[in-house]
Structure 1
């Protein structure tokens, strides 16, 4: 056998099967979505639960004392506005939520920036923030009464405590997601620490800070009901508790729906503000 007769089998060429995605409108991932279909889905998300509620309550599958009809809820709301001064309660709750949320933002945003920026602040503050975050705010209510009393400051403090820790954690995480390359480039160009903080970190995290505030304001509305347990004489939470005592489910549902409508309006309002203030940011999220 000669060398020429020895044949070395060559490996067969590897053929890869390319998988082609079939086009999809409903399940497309950030590839655009028809406006008409989006509007249709929004309408369905609102009308389907309302239709089910109307059918179940109208047929009295559930007794009216537990689930009144939508028309009964609206009628109860009209009565509360015209006869029970619900407008004043609405203003009281809005002022408490606004004061508590602003106080939580003034504290939470700078502390979150400090934790995310400096390892020293992370080591100093993260353990206490992470520990207190798991403590129920309702457990502090007796202490708040002893420390602050039963006036408006105690209600504002409860709302602030319910929101401020989440502001701190979410802002700190936003800072930590900034690529180190951005900071190193700033140092290379001769920036000081203050320049890096004010001209790199703060602008880069500002869109995330706005999103954090938008998300966490819902917590402020949740805690206003707890806050208005403290000898309150006005507020939506006070109205809910008062109606609950007399099994006035229609009034309870109307106050809950009113809080939801206010929260939805605030959410869309903050989204609009974010688009105006941060046009460079990618808003295709949340």
Structure 2
């Protein structure tokens, strides 16, 4: 007796799920400019409103959380009576000097680490170990080595940033496809040509982005740097105001540093868009 057999289809027809259109949650598919501006406004207005309500109702003591108006008044008084502009210039000069020094040292080390296995083996143990050591732990040694003058402050800012510059640039170099380098060799390039005409141009947008990100670290180390017998600077003003519980002055200086940093960030973004227009699509 022959059993009857049934031929079954190999599989059911595949059911496709289609994503419903979404403006708010679209993934890299553009975003309306008006909605973007609205969200930016909300991100600023909501925290400011909460701060205003909490401080005005004195839910928290004014000694610890002054009102926004008190902070603005303290800032105006510091500009008109305490020569705050000179402190801004002093702090900006220290940050600029330390950051430029960190870039001059860190970027070439990063390029060398990412390009040559020999340099990677040479620098990685040192860079990988030292970057976990707190910069504040070196402060006593820095005082012994270079004293309490401006070089010590610049050195602290430089040490806080230089290793991160090196590591991030090295990682950017390692992401260059080997095919690009092999094509250059095939077309007759030597090692110097590959470095100058392939590796550096390919990583230049990433180098600019690295510097833009790490300059925030330079500002973060400013207060530590200005602990060393400074007589001016925003960090010095913060420390001085903290001693007398002048919270409104502390908050104003902190906000001022944030505004300066934001202006620098947008300035470097604009500079990057001019110098590396081909990388604009990658950034966005």
Q: Distance in 2 between matches of 1:7 and 1:34?
A: 60
Query: 1:246 corresponds to which residue?
Result: 244
Query: 1:271 corresponds to which residue?
Result: 269
Q: Distance in 2 between matches of 1:36 and 1:137?
A: 43
After the TM superposition, which residues 1-286 of structure 1 pair with which residues of structure 2 at under 5 Å, given as runs? Answer: 9-283=7-281, 285=283
* 3-state SS in 1 of match to 2:213: helix
Q: Distance in 2 between matches of 1:234 and 1:262?
A: 17
**What TM-score do the two structures reach when normalised by structure 2?**
0.97
Aligned residues: 284
Q: Cα deviation per residue 1:85-135 (whole Å; 9 max; x = unaligned)? A: 111111000000000000000000000000000000000000100000000
Contact 1:240/1:255 (8 A) holds in 2? yes
Contact 1:275/1:283 (8 A) holds in 2? no
Q: 1:49 to 1:34 in 2, by over 3 A?
A: same
Q: Distance in 2 between matches of 1:33 and 1:263?
A: 26
Contact 2:273/2:280 (8 A) holds in 1? no
How far has the Cα of 1:11 moved from its partner? 3.5
Stretches of 4+ moved more than 3 A in 1?
A: 5-8, 10-14, 282-286
Q: Distance in 2 between matches of 1:137 and 1:13?
A: 63
Contact 2:88/2:233 (8 A) holds in 1? yes
How far has the Cα of 1:136 moved from its partner? 0.1
Q: Distance in 2 between matches of 1:285 and 1:44?
A: 24
Q: Cα deviation per residue 1:141-181 (whole Å; 9 max; x = unaligned)? A: 00000001000000000000000000000000000000011
Q: Distance in 2 between matches of 1:31 and 1:276?
A: 24
Structure 1: runs of 5 or more not aligned:
none
How far has the Cα of 1:12 moved from its partner? 3.6
Q: CA RMSD in A?
A: 1.4
